[in-house]
A = this chain, B = another copy of it.
Amino acid sequence: MSFLAQIEECNRWAAGDFIPFIVEGEQLGMARREFAEALDSLSDLGEALLLDQFALQWVSAPSGFAARTEAMQRLCDELIAGGLISHRHGEQYPVTPSRREDARFLIDRACAPYFGVRAFGQHLNGFVRRPDGLWMWIARRAADRRVYPNRLDNMVAGGLPWGISLAENVRKECAEEAGMPEHLADRAVPVGAITYCRASKRGLKPDVMYCYDLELPADFEPQCQDGEVAGFELMPIDRVAEIVDNTDAFKLNCNLVIIDFLVRHGVLTPEHPDYLEIVQRLRSLA
A117 CB → nearest B CB, Å: 15
Closest to A208 in B: B276
- Chain B: which residue is nearest A271 at the CB level? B166
- Closest residue on chain B to residue A285 by CB atoms: B280
Q: Chain A contact residues: over half helix, strand or loop, or mixed?
A: mixed
> Which B residues are in CB contact (< 8 Å) with A279?
192-193, 195, 283
- List 11 additional contacts besides A190-B266, A193-B276, A285-B285; criterion CB under 8 Å: A98-B277, A99-B276, A189-B266, A191-B265, A192-B264, A193-B270, A195-B276, A195-B279, A195-B280, A264-B264, A280-B285
Partner of A98, one of B98, B271, B276: B276
Which residues of B sit under 8 angstroms from A101, Cβ to Cβ? 273
Number of identical protomers = 2
Q: Among residues 96 to 127 in chain A, which have CB atoms less than 8 Å away from a CB atom of chain B? A: 98-99, 101
Interface size counted on chain A using CB atoms at 8 A: 28
Within the complex, what minimum Cβ distance (angstroms) separates A267 from chain B?
Answer: 9
Give CA–CA (A192, B191) in the complex, Å.
Answer: 12
- Name the residue on B nearest A210 (C-beta): B270
Q: A267 vs B249: C-alpha distance in the bound complex, in angstroms?
A: 33
Task: Digitize A173-198: 1 where CB-to-B-CB distance is under 8 Å, 0 elsewhere.
Answer: 00000000000000001111101000
Ordered by A's residue number, 26 sampled pairs between the chains whose C-beta atoms are within 8 Å are A98-B276, A99-B276, A166-B270, A189-B265, A189-B266, A190-B269, A190-B270, A191-B264, A191-B265, A191-B266, A192-B263, A192-B264, A192-B279, A193-B270, A193-B275, A193-B276, A195-B276, A195-B279, A208-B276, A264-B264, A279-B283, A280-B283, A280-B285, A282-B283, A283-B283, A285-B285
**Considering the complex of A and B, which 3 residue pairs feature the smallest CB-CB distances, nearest first?**
A189-B266, A280-B283, A193-B279
Cα of A166 to Cα of B210 in the assembled complex, Å: 30
Q: Could you tell me the distance between the alpha carbons of A285 and B276 in the complex, rounded to whole angstroms? A: 10
List residues 209-266 of chain A with CB under 8 A from any CB of chain B.
210, 263-266
CA distance A190 to B266 in the complex (A): 5
Which B residue sits closest to A279, measured CB to CB? B193
Q: Name A269's closest neighbour in chain B (CB-CB).
A: B190
Give the residues in chain B near A189, CB-CB below 8 Å.
Answer: 265-266
Tell me the minimal C-beta distance from A187 to chain B in angstroms.
10
A161: shortest Cβ distance to chain B, in Å? Answer: 15
Give A285 to B11 CA distance when docked, in angstroms: 15
